Amino acid sequence: MRAATRLVCVYLLMLTGCASIGPPTVVRDRFDYVAAISDSWKRQTLLNLLKVRYTDAPVFMDITSVISAYSVQGDISIGGQITPLGRNGDTFTSAGAAGQYSDKPTITYQPLSGDKFARSLMAPIPVSGILSLIQAGYPADLVLRICVNSINGLENDYGGAGNPRAGNPKFRELTTLLRQSQAVGGAGFRTKVTKDKESVVMFFRPSSGETEPLTRSIRELLGLDPAAREFSVVYGSSPETDAEIAILTRSILQVMIDLASQIDVPAAEIAEGRVYSPQRTVEQQQMFPPLVTVHNGGSPPENVYVGVRYRDQWFWIDDRDQQSKRTLTFLMMAFSLTEGVPAQAAPVVTIPAR
């Protein structure tokens, strides 16, 4: 009798200790999936830079949804037989338990193709998006060096096998001045609405002892009206008046081609003609130093920022290389500036993880 009572007490305690499995999975799954998706995004970006470097076609696969379904089933049974004193028979008790747990995540992938591919990779980055990044605090020289071909005719450096260009020293000087002006609050950007039309303008704040020489130099390099305070920012290669700033932006594909040209590859593959060798003079290297450094070898060291295996070689970015990490992260963020909704739904591949 006492044994049966103890089993009943244990059973009641188990019932009171039961709780939903949902809340604990939120803390675990959210961070686990964020870490996994972030790592795969970095590896996909680096891999596609390598593909472009080797004149291969980049392929992007977006993760559109992650669904995790959990279920827990349990059964507890208690039984027994008690024979009164003075009668023949057996006294026994029995207990049993059974449980089942299942985890069935479903991850949906969508390849970037068709109209969305054209919008995301081949369309020029909107001027307003670039200026918004600068206004949000991204360094002006980094944003303009990566995303812009020219500003008022001053050409940026551009790598790649198809149409390499040596950058104008005045472009480098301009971006440096804009970065310095950004740091002291000399120049700014804002959206202006006129006749139901939005436009972006660049303005110079009232000059002070610190900003005056920067503002004057920027005006001279861009050929701007020395008396004007605001200037319309338009997309194009050259301005129509001295009250305009014409910015010719790059597409994401152009950005990738330029950054890919800065990746180091094995010398043997260059000698065999498997990959092109960018031609840059020492002066160009000093004026427009590489924004990303990718190492290669038989195996990556420990604690790399990101590494991928491609063409029987390992390529990686060192975790201590802040410049390269910042550039790769910026490239990943830049995709959002050109994303558009495709006119026709792209094919969807759903692979249940087992």
Residue numbers of the domain that contains 140: 114-352
User: Does residue 138 lie in a domain region?
Assistant: yes
Which range has the worst mean pLDDT, 64-68, 89-93, 139-143, 242-246? 89-93
Q: Is the pLDDT of residue 205 over 60?
A: yes
Contacts of residue 201, defined as CB under 8 A and 6 or more positions apart, other chains included, come to: 189, 190, 191, 192, 230, 231, 232, 233
The domain total for the chain is 1
Q: Rounded distance, CA 132 to CA 285, Å?
A: 29
- The pLDDT confidence band at residue 48, using thresholds 50, 70 and 90, is very high
User: Does residue 39 lie in a domain region?
Assistant: no
3 state SS of 164: coil
Mean pLDDT of the chain: 81
Q: Rounded distance, CA 154 to CA 160, Å?
A: 19
Q: Which residue has the higher pLDDT, 308 or 5?
A: 308
pLDDT of residue 156: 94
pLDDT of residue 83: 61
123-132, 135-144, 170-179, 183-192, range with greatest mean pLDDT: 170-179
Q: Is the pLDDT of residue 280 over 90?
A: no
Q: Rounded distance, CA 162 to CA 341, Å?
A: 30
User: Does residue 3 lie in a domain region?
Assistant: no
State both tokens at 205. 């704040």
Q: Is the pLDDT of residue 197 over 60?
A: yes
User: Does residue 24 lie in a domain region?
Assistant: no
User: Does residue 65 lie in a domain region?
Assistant: no
User: Does residue 324 lie in a domain region?
Assistant: yes
Q: Is the CB of residue 103 less than 8 Å from the CB of residue 33?
A: no
Q: Which residue has the higher pLDDT, 7 or 126?
A: 126
User: Does residue 185 lie in a domain region?
Assistant: yes
State both tokens at 187. 């120049």
Which range has the worst mean pLDDT, 79-83, 167-171, 310-314? 79-83
pLDDT of residue 245: 93
pLDDT of residue 73: 63
User: Does residue 272 lie in a domain region?
Assistant: yes
